[in-house]
Amino acid sequence: MEIDEEFQASPSVQVQFSITVWDFVLPITPSLPAVFGISETVIEDRYNLKHGSKEWFKSLNMHFDWLLQYRLSPYFCRWGDNMRVLTYTCPYPATHPKSEDYYSDPRLAAYAVPYIPVLSSSDTAKDVVKSELEILKTKPHWKKAYFYLWDEPVGFEQYEVIRSIAEEIRNTAPDARILTTYYCGPSDPSMKLDGFESFLKVPTFLRPHTQIFCTSEWVLGGREDLVKQITDEIQFDRSEEWWTYVCMGPGELHPNWHLGMRGTQHRAVIWRVWKEGGTGFLYWGVNCYEKASSPSAEIRFRRGLPPGDGVLFYPGEVFNIGATLPVASVRLERLLSGMQDYEYLQLYSSMYGRHEALSLLERTGTYTGPERYTLEHNPIESLRGEIYHAYRPVT
């Protein structure tokens, strides 16, 4: 920018601004288990790390610890054939002293336990899983554990594999939770139901071998009335849970984390979770760029996916060759704001009931539905302000 000569001596500009600090103390453990995947293969390729090496463990530990500050519960993942997926939160075996540093971290709301035979069906691998379960199921943090075995199964053959694996796991740990994501019902020719009706019946097909039914928000579109039809199929009285997820869909105008969407649209992802009543949330990947073999290599989004899908942070070395930490996207910062909003709504609900909290969310103009939410920041400030003033007299 060119500066006129008369301003060259003092080019600075003075701006007055004010800051409002809301005196909230958020719980260390997030009320919403929001589990987010970190691709171990992307890390290995970009940083030229040998799987299981000292530097590999160091890198995974850094990514795990860094992502916790965003109130997310990270899991590492490696993809197999036909959407099989190996997921784990702790890269160390349960017998290793460092495993407790992972599993017992109070910032962690949920953790994935690896089922190694998902990629290797050897008897040795199965024995490893059994010994891990024998240790973990005795720990106080076991209630946070889940197994994520297969992403978006679409047929009875895949359902049968999930059932078989779940039986092996629950023979050792009967209260283990299996999480299954899905966006449709089985596509087998023998299936007599069509479309949404088939989707609704997935819990019937997977029960009792799935406890966390994780459905795509894409299926709902803008119809919140469909939520009740989905939850009517979940047996909450038998400890079943309903979680949701977003990925390459839904698109405009619905909340998601694609590039080009508005800031409140990014933030509204978690508002939607809270209003619909899901008890958990999953996001498939935060570092899933195209393959690269250098930390400072240009970041490229994967072909076939909407820009930004599967990417919420960037390698710091791309911006500064000496960097040692990732760089958060603005979308990740907005996600953090959404996670904080979730806690404020939970606080208000604990004082006045969920119905009043829903009324406040809509009355302030913050969020009414997936196609009706604020495009400006003022309603959000109004929401937080009302919650603060309602909370303050009590304390």
What CATH number has the domain bearing residue 254?
3.20.20
- Asked if the structure places residue 49 within a domain, the reply is yes
Which one, of 61, 179, 107, 5, lies nearest residue 336 by Cα? 107
Q: How deeply is 365 buried, as exposed, middle or buried, from its count of CB atoms within 10 A (0-12, 13-18, 19+)?
A: middle
How many CB atoms lie under 10 A from the CB of residue 316?
17
Residue 258 maps to a domain: yes
Alpha helices in 19-98, H assignment, sequence order: 40-47, 54-68
The answer to whether position 346 is within a domain reads no
370 found inside a domain = no
- Per-residue pLDDT, 4: 57
**Do the domain assignments include residue 391?**
no
Per-residue pLDDT of the chain (395 residues; tens, 9 = 90+): 455 555 556 678 899 998 878 777 899 999 999 999 999 999 999 999 999 999 999 999 999 999 999 999 999 999 988 899 999 999 999 999 999 999 999 999 999 999 986 555 577 888 888 999 999 999 999 999 999 999 999 999 999 999 999 999 999 999 999 999 999 999 887 777 788 999 999 999 999 999 999 999 999 988 999 999 999 999 999 999 999 999 999 999 999 999 999 999 999 999 999 999 999 999 999 999 999 999 999 999 999 999 999 999 999 999 998 999 999 999 999 999 999 999 999 999 999 999 999 999 999 999 999 999 999 999 999 999 999 989 876 55
Overall size of the chain counted in residues: 395
pLDDT of residue 1: 45
Please state, in angstroms and as integers, the Cα–Cα distance from residue 165 to each residue in 162, 184, 209, 225, 235, following that order: 5, 21, 9, 34, 21
> What DSSP character marks residue 394?
G
Domain ranges, residue 217: 34-329
Write out the E strands in 268-330.
281-283, 313-314, 327-328
Question: Is 55 inside any structural domain?
Answer: yes
**In degrees rounded to 5, what are phi and psi of residue 36?**
-125, 130
Please report whether residue 349 resides in a domain: no
3 in any annotated domain: no
What is the distance between the alpha carbons of residues 25 and 394, in angstroms, rounded to a whole number?
14
- Count the domains in the chain: 1
